[in-house]
Each structure stands twice: as structure tokens, then as C-alpha cells.
């Protein structure tokens, strides 16, 4: 799943972002990823779900790929191979205060939620699209990017963090693999 997701992120960067598409909401990113995941031969198209329940987990997740489980007297849920939480810092439409709220959701909600998922899931990831350069700023006196990775290491050490950011007019993909994941960089 890791290689497939990385390939999808490259396509997202090249076929969407590099062509000037302006994302405004997380749904824009999730929609593009859904579309691109459908084009991957190694992904079962009937197993891609957006804003969905994952088995044995609280809350809903932005993207999950896996089999549907239906058990009597319980809501259907996904037994995932991949789970992704998406956050976006768009170039326009949000104040610094709103960006801070989104950033704190990554730190306090998304990362802990991903860490509580079953460790046998092939890929648990936070995807951040930073068109604003927000992660270059500071949070509590520390660089936001570094603070984010330190927080991930503390509360969700097995979770991958992908950051797509605009640098000097070009979109670049960064991957902060878990320190314990072999061959993941």
C-alpha cells in the first residue's frame, strides 16, 4: 500500500496541483485521491471509501481502503489496508487562526486517532497539503513542521506523515516515515 499511495500522491501533485487547481477544503483533496486511487490496478475499486467508519475504531476517517464488514446489529465498517486523515492549509480562504485550529486538529485528534488503529493495518497516514507555507511558521516557539513530527513520534510513532507543500512555485512531496518502519524512506 505504501508504494501505491506514494504513486497516487505523485499523480495528485502532477495532474492536479501543478496544473493550478486551487483546493479549498479537505474534501477537494479526498475527492482527487479517490479518483486517482480508482486508477490503480492494485486497488480493488469496490474497497475505496471516503469519510467512513473503520472497524474497532471511534469516529470516521477521511479515506480507507479495505473490505466491508457487516455484522448483525452493528453498523457496517471497513477492515482497512490503508487509512488516511487529510488536512489542508490552502493558499486562500482561511485566517491564521483557522489554520491554527486545523493544525491543532492534526496534533490532538488525527495523530492519536490513527495511532489507536490496529497495528496490522498496512498503512496509516496523515496527509497534509500546505499551499500556504503554514508549516514553516512557529507553534509554541518551535518550527511547526518539527513540532508536528515530534508530536507524531510521541503519540503515533507508527504513523506515516506525508506533506505536500508549495516551495518556490513548485509542489513537493515530503514523507516522514515512522522511525521503526523498514525501507520506508
pLDDT digits (tens, 9 = 90+) for 47-74: 999 999 999 999 999 999 999 999 777 8
Residue 88: which domain range?
2-176
Give the per-residue pLDDT at 180.
56
Residue 184 resides in a domain: no
Q: What is the pLDDT of residues 120-138, one digit of tens each?
A: 999 999 999 999 999 999 9
Residue 182 lies in a domain: no
Residue 183 lies in a domain: no
pLDDT in tens, 153-169: 999 999 999 999 988 88
Q: Give me the residue label for grid cell 483546493.
A: 23
The three cell numbers locating residue 163: 506533506
The number of distinct structural domains making up the chain is 1
11 assigned to some structural domain:
yes
Which pTM value belongs to this model? 0.92
- 23 — pLDDT class (breaks 50, 70, 90): confident
Residue ranges of the alpha helices (H) in 1-129?
2-12, 26-38, 96-105, 111-115
Rounded distance between C-alpha atoms, residue 50 and residue 96, angstroms: 27
In a domain, 185, yes or no: no
CB 66 within 8 A of CB 47: yes
Amino acid at each position: 500500500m505504501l508504494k501505491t499511495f506514494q504513486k497516487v500522491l505523485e499523480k495528485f501533485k502532477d495532474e492536479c496541483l501543478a496544473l493550478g487547481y486551487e483546493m479549498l477544503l479537505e474534501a477537494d483533496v479526498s475527492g482527487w485521491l479517490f479518483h486517482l486511487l480508482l486508477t490503480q490496478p492494485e486497488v480493488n475499486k469496490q474497497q475505496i471509501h471516503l469519510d467512513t467508519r473503520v472497524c474497532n475504531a471511534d469516529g470516521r476517517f477521511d479515506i480507507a481502503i479495505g473490505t466491508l464488514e457487516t455484522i448483525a446489529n452493528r453498523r457496517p465498517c471497513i477492515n482497512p489496508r490503508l487509512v488516511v486523515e487529510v488536512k489542508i492549509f490552502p493558499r486562500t480562504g482561511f485566517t491564521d487562526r483557522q489554520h491554527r485550529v486545523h493544525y491543532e486538529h492534526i496534533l490532538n485528534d488525527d495523530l492519536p486517532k490513527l495511532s489507536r488503529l490496529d497495528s496490522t493495518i498496512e498503512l496509516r497516514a496523515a496527509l497534509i497539503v500546505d499551499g500556504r507555507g503554514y508549516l514553516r511558521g512557529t507553534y509554541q516557539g518551535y518550527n511547526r513542521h518539527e513540532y508536528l513530527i515530534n508530536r507524531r513520534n510521541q503519540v503515533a510513532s507508527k504513523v506515516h506523515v506525508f506533506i505536500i507543500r508549495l516551495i518556490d512555485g513548485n509542489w513537493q512531496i515530503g514523507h516522514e516515515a515512522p522511525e521503526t518502519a523498514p525501507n520506508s524512506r
